[in-house]
Structure formats: C-alpha cells, structure tokens
Amino acid sequence: MVDTSPTGTLDTLVRGAGQHLVETRPELERVLLRARDGYARTYVWARSVANRVRYDAPPDPYRMVPIDPSEVRHVAAFSPPKFRRAGRVAGGDWDRTEERFEDLDVYRAYEAHFENGVPWAETEFFDRVVAELEAGAEQWGCTTRAEFEARCRRLDELYETIAEDGYYTQEQLMASNTDDPIKRQNALKTERLKDEIAVHVGRDGELLFEDGRNRLSIVKLLGLDSVPVRVLCRHAEWQAVRDAYVNGDPEAAAYADHPDLAALEFGSEA
C-alpha cells in the first residue's frame, strides 16, 4: 500500500537525501541514524499520547506480542517507513486482502530449499532478486549476484540458529551478545525494531503479515507454536473490540484468547 500523503512523500525525500549524504560522507552514517531514530521515536510518542486520549485500550507501539505463526496467513503491507504504522488505528478496506503469505516467492523458496533440498539458485525468488540487482537495484545491502549468494548462505545460518537455539528478538540477541547471521546489531531502538516480524490486525482480529518474511518463513517451516511479533496497525473495528473488552462488554469477551488482548484485563475500565 503506497503512502502518497505529504508526510509519506517527505519521508521518502529525507531518506533519499540521507542515503546520498552517506554515500558521499560515510562517516556521517551514525549521526544520521541517531537523528532518524530520534525523529521516529518522537513521532511514535506523539501518536501514543493521542491514542491514550482516544481509546480505552490504547495500543502500545513497542510491545512484542506472542503469536502462533501459523495464524499469519495473508499479507497487508503498507509502504515504508514502519514507524508511521506503529500504534496506528485505521479504518477502510486495507485488511481485505487475498494475498497469501505462503504464495510469496520467498516462502516458496524457503520451503523448496529447506524441505526439498533445492539450491537457492534454482528458486524463482533467487532469479527475481538477481534480475533486480542486474537492473541496478540494491537488496538487503547486496548489489551483485555474488553478494546475494553470500546472503543466502547466511540465511542457511539463520535457519540453523533458530532450529537449534529457538527464536530470539533483536533485543534478546543484543542482550546476550549473540550475532544475527543476516543483520548487524544496532543499539538504536527503531533500527532494531525494523528487523522484527511485524503484523497488522484486521477488523475481525486476523493477523496480517507486514514484514520479517525471512524469519516468519523459517518459524512456519520449523512449526514453532509461538514467536514474539510487533503489531503495527489495527483496524478501527478491531480497536473497538479492544476498547469494549476492557470495558467488560460480554460480546468482546468472546475474543479473550486473541493474542492482542493478552495484556489487557477484561472489565478493567469498568
């Protein structure tokens, strides 16, 4: 979903200018990252303040929610940056999506590679990314086929790490001084949060995929029954259920087992 709002356009321009500046002055990268982190956290804080006024069960934009990854079946992706979705409540039909996560070429590649032994280079996902690189695009820091092949080897490491040690959030990895095979650790909060599995919640409580396709593919294939994820955007109708739940509405009690209600207390606002 493309963001054509003035703030979305401004974000795009700022990111483009920042990237150009880093390319010409690499020593400024850390300074720019800190500036962007501060801006993003201020933006999310302002939304959180507004949400506390509007809602009886205001969304916590930074709380990690444990979910069953098999419950994430469809995709409802917005355009970046993700911090603009954190804690957002939005109406409309954005949650009416038929795109299935398991139809994405990246998931099919993981399935073929790890379950059937198909080399990465023989998957549609690999062919697509290499074609994009050859057309001049950059993907995950890769600009050449060789660099992407090296990343695929790191994806093998990520799979083995999760299979052997379990799933850890970026914060847990940093606290334990454990390396992430595909991502450099970052002390900045918004930068770390970019690398978590992120979902939205539709009007009926459906969990919809937004980001983190590598990790979600892996935990689905490994059959893990619970992983922590970020909830970014909630449909306005689902937020009404959350508010009704904390107000003790008997109809909302039917959703008591939903992971997005786990931190809420039924009837706590009564």
Number of structural domains (the chain) is 1
Residue 34 lies in a domain: yes
Instruction: Taking residues 19-40, report their average pLDDT.
Output: 65
- Identify which of 49, 50, 31 has the alpha carbon closest to the alpha carbon of residue 39: 31
For 62-88, what is the mean pLDDT?
91
Residue type, 233: C
Q: Is residue 267 part of a domain?
A: no
pLDDT of residue 27: 52
Of the two residues 155 and 80, the one the predictor is more confident about is: 155
Per DSSP (E only), the strands in the chain are: 64-67, 74-75, 88-90, 198-201, 207-211, 227-235
In a domain, 153, yes or no: yes
Q: Is the pLDDT of residue 86 over 90?
A: yes
Indicate whether 269 belongs to any domain: no
Comparing CA positions, the residue from 191, 239, 240, 182 lying closest to residue 215 is 182
Pair 210, 77: CB distance under 8 Å: yes
Please determine, for residue 173, whether its predicted confidence score (pLDDT) is greater than 60: yes
Q: How far apart are CA 240 and CA 201, in angstroms?
A: 12
Domain presence at residue 227: yes
pLDDT at site 185:
59
Q: What is the pLDDT of residues 90-149, one digit of tens each?
A: 999 999 999 999 999 999 999 999 999 999 999 999 999 999 999 999 998 899 999 999
The stretch 66-93 carries a mean pLDDT of 92
pLDDT band at 192 (very low <50, low <70, confident <90, very high): low
Return the pLDDT at 79. Answer: 78
Instruction: Supply the range of the domain harboring residue 184.
Output: 6-261
Q: What mean pLDDT value characterizes the chain? A: 87
Phi, psi of 67 (to 5 degrees): -135, 165
20-24, 180-184, 204-208, 227-231: segment of lowest average pLDDT: 20-24
- Residue 194 falls inside a structural domain: yes
Residue 29 predicted with pLDDT over 80: no
pLDDT category at 46 given cuts 50, 70, 90 is very high
Task: Determine contact, residues 126/120, Cβ cutoff 8 Å.
Answer: yes
CB 48 within 8 A of CB 87: yes
Identity of the residue numbered 123: T
Does 195 have pLDDT greater than 60? yes
CA 60, CA 131: separation in Å to the nearest integer?
40
Of 35-49, 67-81, 131-145, 166-180, least confident by mean pLDDT is 166-180
Predicted pLDDT of residue 26? 54
Asked if 91 and 66 count as a contact pair (C-beta separation under 8 A), the reply is no
Q: What is the pLDDT of residue 10?
A: 42
* % of the chain residues with pLDDT over 90: 67
Give domain status of residue 94, yes or no: yes
Residue 270 in any domain: the answer is no
pLDDT of residue 270: 56
- The amino acid occupying position 135 is A
Say which residue, 31 or 48, is predicted with more confidence: 48
